[in-house]
Amino acid sequence: MSAPIIEIHDVSKRYDAGRPALAGLSLEVSAGEALAVLGPSGSGKSTLLNLVAGLDKPSEGGVTVDGVRVDALSEAALARYRRERIGMVFQFFNLLDDLTVEDNVLLPAQLAGMPRGKARARTAELLEHLGIARHARAFPGRLSGGERQRVAVARALMNRPPLLLADEPTGALDTSSAADVRELLVDLNRSGQTILLVTHDTALAASCATRTIELVDGRIARDVRAVAK
Ligand SMILES: Nc1ncnc2c1ncn2[C@@H]1O[C@H](COP(=O)(O)OP(=O)(O)OP(=O)(O)O)[C@@H](O)[C@H]1O
């Protein structure tokens, strides 16, 4: 088994005086895993994803990703962490509608200061690899949901993050687009990409995940590794 890329140690998260959103949760995720986080509404899935993404901090405990102690980073270091170590994909794609597909994908490289020629070459490579090269000059509004999610994945992978985080990536898609995105995530994981996926889509978890955890009341109630496919 590879070294852990995510190490969550005894993490609790309280937003208010009520029941904690996460309650003493510990989890290690190895490089190369595709981990699906399932669980009922309010069980803490998005909270867990947000802590790993450095979008929020735990009330107690530590979150380490790719050797970086995320919960201890300054704002400037967090911005860099999010640019370099993680890529994020969201339910509603979060693409900029007034930029072309290729300019959306280029954006993280520009923010990271990648030289222009290198960034253009990386964009072309990603668009080709993800099967959307023919849409490079199109605007996202002209694409199907599945194609838009492919663009969002390309953008997330621009800076070669060791970890891809996905929050309900099929949640806004029709059946055929959802199947398309499932296939894409399976291919990415097979080529070595570590993925952490929050979803209600059990078909996505079943087809894509090499491991599934189920959260109940902020704790891991089930942790199952898939039989190798
Ligand atoms: N910013 C916040 N302020 C206060 N409470 C919050 C906040 N975010 C989440 N919570 C609470 O924390 C608990 C866990 O929420 P979380 O969004 O992590 O659950 P979830 O499993 O992702 O739910 P869903 O499947 O509905 O998206 C819930 O009780 C929720 O109301």
Q: What is the ipTM of this complex?
A: 0.98
Q: Is 46 in the pocket of ligand 1 (CB under 6 A)?
A: yes
Same domain assignment for residues 168 and 58 = yes
Question: How much is the pLDDT for 226?
Answer: 87
Is there a single domain that holds both residue 136 and residue 168? no
Provide the CATH number for the domain around residue 199: 3.40.50.300
| Strand order across the 34-38 sheet | 86-89, 163-167, 194-198, 34-38, 211-216, 219-225
Ligand 1 center to 191 CA (angstroms): 33
Residues 166 and 154 occupy one common structural domain: no
pLDDT at residue 97, as a whole number: 96
The response to whether residue 171 sits with its C-beta less than 6 Å from ligand 1 reads no
146 lines ligand 1 (CB under 6 A): no
For residue 118, the one-letter residue type is K
Question: What letter represents residue 69's amino acid?
Answer: R
Count the domains in the chain: 2
pTM of the prediction?
0.95
Q: Is residue 24 part of a domain?
A: yes
pLDDT tens per residue across span 76-128: 999 999 999 999 999 989 999 999 999 999 999 999 999 999 999 999 999 99
Distance (Å, rounded) from C-alpha 225 to C-alpha 8? 18
Domain that holds residue 169: 1-85+161-173+194-229
Q: Whose CA is nearest to atom 4 of ligand 1?
A: 15
The reply to whether 99 and 151 lie within a common domain is: yes
